[in-house]
Structure 1
Amino acid sequence: MGQPAGSVPVGCLLLGWALGGSPLWGLLTVTALAVLPVASVLALRAFGVVDTLRITGRTRLILLAGGAAWELIAVALLWSWGAQAPLRAGLIGVLAALVAMLALHPTGVSAHTSIPALFAGALLPGAPVWGALMVVAAAVAGWARLRVGAHTLAQVAAWPPVVGAAGLVGAVLAG
């Protein structure tokens, strides 16, 4: 679950199902927020725009910004389709956390750790048990990234909680 490719769909499914009140909202949320962006990255790889799924540097920043723009559109779609208030608040939390991730990009913030933290913050107000489990997932991902030497302590222990806090504040203010 520490891999962004795993934690994004799981987080989206939990967000939609737990806060939207039905499996249908879980599927709509995971499709809008995860499946379409991941398919876009896979298409970029297939067409040779990126040569690996390990995206770093300027390309990563461009993809994060593009992903954040898509997330804004996806949130608007889910909102217009009648997402319930708790899910709308969670979606605003996701957007707030994405802004924090973009701002922290120059620090080398760990996406592997920040993605579960993002969903933890967005889930905690409306689904505290799921939010707490995502906190654990973020901690395990951070430990793993430190263990393999991929990140510094600050990149996995200081910045991801900032991302999670942005998600929490966004969800609370929107709720």
Structure 2
Amino acid sequence: MAFGKRQSGVGAASQAFNVDMTVAQSQAANDTTQPVGHPFRWLVVLLACGAMLYGLFVSYGPDILRDHRLAGTWQPAYDLQATDGKCERTNFVITRCSVKIKSVARPDQAPIAHNFLMLFAGGGGEALVPVRSTADRSAVSIFYAAETKLWNRTLSFVSVAGILALFSVCALFIFWKAANSF
């Protein structure tokens, strides 16, 4: 049938056809949608999201808690030197910085690796000044990470953890639904 053209003798057949289609559509609307994929696939997604969330809490959480606990007590450490410092920015959103802090007084001591993550902020050519806490002399960090960008790091951690938790919960519900319908 050409668009916009009338054809004779089609009206009665099309009305009868539409009645059957409305019954089929109402039955289809009452059926619940089944999750796509095998339950094993959703179990893998659930475990992957859970592992990433666990890794985030284990690797990044203690540093943020320590920096909040020691906020305001950081002073420049002249016996430490920052080496191999670099910040990598991905898609103008995620910035991952890493630096090694080594002792000038004891060069045989292994350097301390320090990593941090920021969202919507870059390193901006900031100087990597090693600092030591006056409250805990064994705690060392970079001033830029410990004081200047502490709230950005905290909000970044909460945002990423929230997104991963949301994905984990969604994967859990879809896995549960797929396992019950399997």
| TM-score under structure 1 length normalisation | 0.24
| TM-score under structure 2 length normalisation | 0.23
Higher fraction of helix: 1
Higher fraction of strand: 2
- Larger-gyration structure (1/2): 2
